Amino acid sequence: RTHAHPHAATPPASAMSQAPSTSGSDVLVIPQIDSLEAANNIEEILSVPGVDAAFVQPQGLCAHGGRMSPSATGHAQVIPAETLDRMLRSSHRLALPLGIDSADGATARVGAQQGFRMVAVGNDVDVLARAAAEQLRLAQMA
């Protein structure tokens, strides 16, 4: 669930007045699938008029399934195969892209191989932390 930065610039009133007339063409509606309930209702979610795609959040699915996320355990996340298959079949049947969040490049590759059409590679905190750790490692080698 994304929230705007509290110090983000507020769009001018003229832009806000145009929002309703352009929202269908300029705004993508991409619900996040972050619970088993959402995953089990993927067909209904993707069938809502105006939905352009859906984005799977494995961390949420793991947490709702009683599993720890890989950031806490260091292990790969596991989405039950039947849940994964159901989500991908629904996405293909309705011709709407399904995306997935991944912790790193290797996990992103797996997501693409599984059939996800949008794959996020890490997040800002993880990417910056890995880059900083690598730079510290290089500095210590000198």
Task: Give pLDDT tens digits for 66-77.
Answer: 554 444 443 345
Architecture of the domain made up of 18-141: Alpha-Beta Barrel (3.20)
Q: What is the mean pLDDT of the chain?
A: 79
- Give mean pLDDT, residues 62-85: 62
State the Cα–Cα distance between residues 142 and 135, nearest whole angstrom.
11
- Give the per-residue pLDDT at 79: 79
- Give mean pLDDT, residues 116-121: 92
Alpha-carbon distance values, 111 to 16, 18, 102 (Å): 37, 37, 8
